[in-house]
Structure 1
């Protein structure tokens, strides 16, 4: 499948926003500079880069489905795309944890590898097995959510066709939103499995918004632009209980940037810059590996080189992670994917 450069650029933007959030804001109890940058909006709401990832996935997955002739082949394709980096990164994290011992989540036990390798949340595994599965990386939650989206949306696509699949996927989000509101309003305690599913489906609106932009990209029908605006705005309601003005503005800017890029060729060229495309190319392993290792590296660099300005610490640490991620994406991952395709009888 031919890559669309500006989508890789958006992946680059998304992962950089998430890294800014983790490197400067959320782990302030561990960071040597504490809350020094807590009021910088770019850092404070950088976690919304995840929603940008979801928009991209909605676009890419619908495109992938149209180029795949059956459901199980689609799922195998997605597994081959996700598993190698998850496998590599999980073991890198596990075997280097004693060196990066400053990591916020501490030294992980062996069984913490299981959720990532099977792409199922710890909470769901624990509900079914009654075994405790500690979290290896908190960032993995989005990958588990993506997998659920692949399963649900893929099934909808092959049963109902692409247009109804997008609509039904969005209606699943609306249902999750309504159930979330009712449970909060009436203080209804949900069982872990149902609660986990609702927490997943509450993000499906973003995927649908990304999917309608794919329909616009292919068909050039302006009605999809209106659908995108409606779906993106309604998807913002998923954070109704914790939204601030800054958060809303941040989401509006990201969604608008995503939508406008399909209309403005000059903006496409900017988003498709070599730097952003490069970061987008390595974004998956970088996303998987960055969080705890980033914080540990920041602490180590600060301890050994105290003269380095605070603002530069996450940047220097990220450069190391970029190098590791590039090696994974360029050198290690492709032969594993090729081997898996051959073993699974792919053409």
Structure 2
């Protein structure tokens, strides 16, 4: 989503069907260099953070493998247990849902960057024009596939599908067309909180720091209160990852200091606690192994550490052009890979008896090709058109 001159901002990404086990996503970005003290830095349009694009596609592929080979429920699409078909891969893929944590850290980093110096109206328009076009197409494609092959996944009722187009299906208590779209609702609430408490008055170092501190305290108090409405607003389990990303962008822009690293450290500690408690002992038997708390800790640490490496400029060497393309495909790939991938697996492996490894490779490649088509034919033309239309409407409202 283009959210500023030469800056592309993030989006959300991945989770299992009708569950909240996985999620995200963030788009190609152009960084602002660090400046001495707290002076505002001037972004350099020629310096792309391609390493973030690489991290995004890595997170998306890990979630994809989780959906294809890391869950026992996918056996119905393979016609057999993925643990037996992919004995080595399935154990590692069980941790793929943690790619969502990386998505959220990147989202905090990029949202802070892309909103710097931008108005609230610009922030709103950039989010809407970035998220909705590919999302609408994914809803249509998945619904059509469910109608054609209801044996793989039954289509939702028309009234439920129509609510899904608003992206408000979860607070409305409506089933999701896309299993992964629960993370979009998480992202949307983050955008709303950040817009109301920071972007509204203008993004500054002080306002972001205060926001991070207050949100951390609110998350802890919400856990003590154990109130569903407070949990929904504060997002106590997901907040640490966004907060850590926000602080890491401040480190990138203004340089290191003890306060910012303290925020990152607290966010990491709280985030790993949530991830471990949520995934170490899953409520269902949908994974093949009891996931190790040490591996979960290592993956969460990688999520914070990798974005920290970008913030400190340690990954400037990862500047390959193909990463920009990969980053552009991440959001549409994230949206379509789960259900449409299951359809592809069912047809290729069970109908045409293609081997399990060729089926897995063909499905992943096919979803990447579909993501490229959505990016080229939908996102690139429709996103800017929506943004221009909203800008025109905003100008009319101001002049009326």
TM-score per shorter chain, which class?
A: 0.7 to 0.9
1:235 — aligned with what?
271
Counting only pairs closer than 5 Å after superposition, residues 240-255 of structure 1 correspond to structure 2 as: 240-242=276-278, 243=280, 244-255=293-304
After TM superposition, give the deviation of residue 287 of structure 1 in Å: 0.8
The 1:31–1:303 alpha-carbon spacing in structure 2 relative to 1, beyond 3 Å, is closer
CA apart distance, 1:222: 4.1
- Equivalent pair of 1:12/1:277 in contact (CA under 8 Å): no
Instruction: State yes or no: 1:280 paired with 2:327.
Output: yes
Per-residue CA deviation, residues 255-314 of structure 1 (Å, 9 max, x unaligned), is 22222233354x3434x4455443221111111111111112112111234351x23422
- Residues 40-67 of structure 1 deviation map (CA, whole Å, 9 limit, x = unaligned): 4531111111111111111111112213
Unaligned 5+ runs, structure 2: 1-5, 8-28, 30-48, 281-292, 396-400
Deviation at 1:168, TM superposition (A): 2.7
Are the aligned partners of 2:249 and 2:311 in contact in 1 as well (CA < 8 Å)? no
Taking the aligned partners of 2:142 and 2:130, their CA distance within structure 1 comes to 20
1:297 corresponds, among 344, 349, 357, to 344
Q: CA RMSD in A?
A: 2.6
Match of 2:308 in 1: 259
Aligned residue pair count: 327
Determine if contact 1:10/1:276 at 8 Å carries over to the other structure: no
Aligned 8 A contact 1:11 1:53 in 2: yes
Give the match for residue 112 of structure 1: 160
Distance 1:67 1:116 in 2: 33
* Greater shift in the superposed pair: 27-36 or 52-61: 27-36
| Contiguous gaps of at least 5 residues in structure 1 | 127-132, 184-189
Q: Quickly say closer, same or farther: Cα 1:161–1:274, change in 2 above 3 A.
A: closer
Indicate yes or no: 2:130 matched with 1:81: yes
Q: Give 1:13's aligned residue.
A: 58
The match for 2:176 among 120, 129, 135 is: 135
Higher normalized helix content (fraction of residues) = 1
C-alpha distance 45-6 of structure 1, shift in aligned 2 (>3 A): same
Of 92-101 and 80-89, more deviation after overlay is shown by 92-101
Which of 224, 227, 245 is the matching residue for 1:210? 245
User: In 2, distance between residues paired with 1:311 and 1:167?
Assistant: 50
Displacement after TM superposition at 1:170 (Å): 4.9
- After superposition, where does 1:130-209 map in structure 2 within 5 Å? 133-157=174-198, 158-159=200-201, 161-162=203-204, 163-180=206-223, 183=226, 190=227, 193-197=229-233, 200-209=235-244
TM-score when normalising by structure 2 = 0.74
Taking structure 1 as reference, are residues 330 and 166 closer, same or farther at Cα in structure 2, changes over 3 Å only?
farther
Q: Distance in 2 between matches of 1:212 and 1:92?
A: 38
Structure 1 residues 8 and 100, CA, compared in 2 at 3 Å: closer, same or farther?
farther
1:321 is aligned to 367
Scaled by the length of structure 1, the TM-score of the pair is 0.84
| Cα gap change, 1:263 to 1:64, in 2 (>3 Å) | closer
CA–CA separation in structure 1 for the residues paired with 2:322 and 2:353: 29
